[in-house]
């Protein structure tokens, strides 16, 4: 009996070793550098990347940099000296990682820019993101259609809250939306009462909810004590949350249309409660699986899938990119895109 048990145990051990070995892509190590744990999306991105890369048999070194550039630099340098074969980076500040990227290049370590483009460097092999300009267009078109800007008499009052100036995506989001809305601003159908309509004026350093809230509170108290705000264009959910908090704190007029991006849990709850009109859903699982595919193609020296080779110039080179499709989300379709797809459970949105 003992003998049979022993043989069985050996068989199980041998089998599990075999599976582990067959999944192991030659001890290949992938570094994943994420900006911060403060925002829901990066936690999801990091988790999805780690899971998918490990499922593909890679060893993963996943690091979060607390939104601190010096920390991100150190973490990437440790990935280089720690033997990572490919490094995937979602930068805090696109232009500040040059010294680490140079070191990666010197060691022939391919670098993939994840979601945010790495700027001013020729050491970036590929870029995978969502179509950032399109995200803005989806927001702008939503405002155009909901206010029926082509037919309604207006004028409508609008304010804008954008993203972090250190994040190359922020300009794309703003331009995508503003290119749709600009003709109506110029014709006077949309009125930006605060007068703040340049990217510099509407930007929110670090995409901070608190900073967006403080600015929105100032705009409301200086301009909207006797007027309604019809629409507040917000580039993403963390900044939309700041605007929503400011409206709850010191605004009594008609509730505006508010845009967002990411379908964060707090914002999806606000959409369901009627406090945010829409968001743009960027399924982090889609991006993660695209990047895992890229990693595999790079390591096997296969042709890497890209679908854009002209848009993303980082100041030094135009980086071959794969752009995933962003999806419109609101209180009417969130169940099918967020719950039925397994992104959230119903309980998470209660």
Min dist CB 127 to ligand BGC, Å, is 12
Put residue 98 in one of left, alpha, beta given phi > 0 → left and psi -120 to 50 → alpha.
alpha
Q: What are the φ/ψ torsions at residue 119 (nearest 5 degrees)? A: -100, 160
Q: Does 167 bind ligand BGC (CB under 6 A)?
A: yes
User: 228-241: string of b/e by CB count within 10 Å (b at 16+)?
Assistant: ebbbbbbbbbbbbb
The site for ligand BGC, by CB under 6 A, has a size of 13
Site string for ligand BGC, 199-238 (x = CB under 6 A): --------x----------------------------x-x
Site string for ligand BGC, 260-299 (x = CB under 6 A): -xx-------------------x-----------------
Min dist CB 307 to ligand BGC, Å, is 18
Q: Which is nearer to ligand BGC, 217 or 283 (CB)?
A: 283
Alpha carbons 324 and 259: distance in angstroms, whole number: 20
Q: Which residue has the closest beta carbon to ligand BGC?
A: 236
Min dist CB 20 to ligand BGC, Å, is 35
**What distances in angstroms separate CA 47 from CA 123, 275, 325, 338, one per listed residue?**
26, 29, 21, 17
Site string for ligand BGC, 54-93 (x = CB under 6 A): ----------------------------------------
Give residues 102-161 in contact with ligand BGC (rule: CB under 6 A).
Answer: 115-116
Alpha carbons 328 and 184: distance in angstroms, whole number: 22
The single residue listed with the structure tokens 């390591």 is: 299
Q: Which is nearer to ligand BGC, 128 or 220 (CB)?
A: 128
Report cis status (omega within 30 of 0) of the bond before 169. no
Q: Which is nearer to ligand BGC, 39 or 143 (CB)?
A: 39
Please answer whether residues 257 and 146 qualify as being in contact, where contact means their C-beta atoms are separated by less than 8 angstroms. yes
Min dist CB 167 to ligand BGC, Å, is 5
* Tokens, residue 281: 């859903």
Please name the helix (run of DSSP H) or strand (run of DSSP E) that holds residue 204, with its range, or none: none
Please answer whether residues 140 and 177 qualify as being in contact, where contact means their C-beta atoms are separated by less than 8 angstroms. yes
* Alpha-helical runs (H) found in the chain: 2-23, 40-55, 69-81, 98-106, 132-146, 168-187, 199-202, 209-223, 237-250, 265-272, 284-299, 334
Of 46-54, 137-145, 162-170, 326-334, the window that binds ligand BGC (rule: CB under 6 A) is 162-170
Q: Which is nearer to ligand BGC, 137 or 230 (CB)?
A: 137
Min dist CB 337 to ligand BGC, Å, is 16
Q: Which of 30, 32, 39, 323 binds ligand BGC (CB under 6 A)?
A: 39
The footprint of ligand BGC (CB under 6 A) covers 39, 41, 115-116, 163, 167, 169, 207, 236, 238, 261-262, 282
């Amino acid at each position: 009996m003992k003998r049979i048990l022993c043989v069985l145990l050996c068989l199980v051990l041998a089998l599990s070793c075999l599976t582990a070995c067959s999944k192991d892509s030659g001890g290949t190590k992938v570094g994943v550098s994420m900006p911060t744990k403060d925002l829901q999306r990066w936690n999801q991105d990091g988790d999805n990347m780690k899971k998918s890369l490990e499922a593909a048999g890679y060893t993963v070194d996943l690091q979060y940099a607390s939104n601190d550039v010096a920390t991100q630099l150190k973490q990437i340098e440790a990935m280089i000296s720690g033997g990572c074969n490919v490094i995937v980076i979602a930068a805090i500040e696109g232009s500040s990682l040059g010294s680490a990227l140079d070191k990666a290049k010197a060691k022939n370590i391919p670098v993939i820019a994840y979601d945010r483009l790495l700027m001013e460097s020729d050491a970036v092999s590929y870029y995978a993101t969502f179509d950032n300009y399109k995200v803005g267009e989806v927001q702008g078109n939503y405002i155009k259609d909901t206010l029926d800007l082509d037919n309604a008499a207006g004028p409508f009052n609008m304010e804008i809250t954008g993203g972090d100036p250190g994040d190359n995506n922020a300009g794309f989001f703003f331009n995508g939306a503003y290119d749709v809305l600009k003709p109506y601003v110029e014709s006077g159908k949309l009125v930006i009462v605060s007068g703040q309509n340049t990217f510099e004026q509407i930007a929110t350093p670090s995409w901070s909810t608190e900073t967006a809230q403080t600015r929105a509170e100032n705009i409301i108290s200086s301009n909207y004590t006797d007027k309604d705000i019809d629409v507040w264009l917000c580039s993403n959910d963390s900044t939309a949350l700041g605007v929503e908090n400011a409206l709850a704190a010191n605004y009594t007029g008609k509730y505006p249309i508010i845009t967002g991006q990411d379908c964060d849990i707090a914002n999806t709850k606000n959409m369901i409660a009627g406090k945010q009109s829409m968001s743009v859903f960027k399924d982090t699982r889609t991006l993660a699986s695209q990047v895992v595919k890229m990693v595999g193609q790079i390591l096997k020296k296969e042709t890497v899938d890209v679908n854009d080779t002209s848009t993303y110039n980082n100041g030094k080179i135009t980086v071959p990119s794969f752009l995933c499709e962003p999806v419109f989300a609101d209180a009417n379709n969130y169940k099918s895109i967020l719950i039925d797809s397994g992104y959230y459970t119903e309980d998470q949105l209660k």
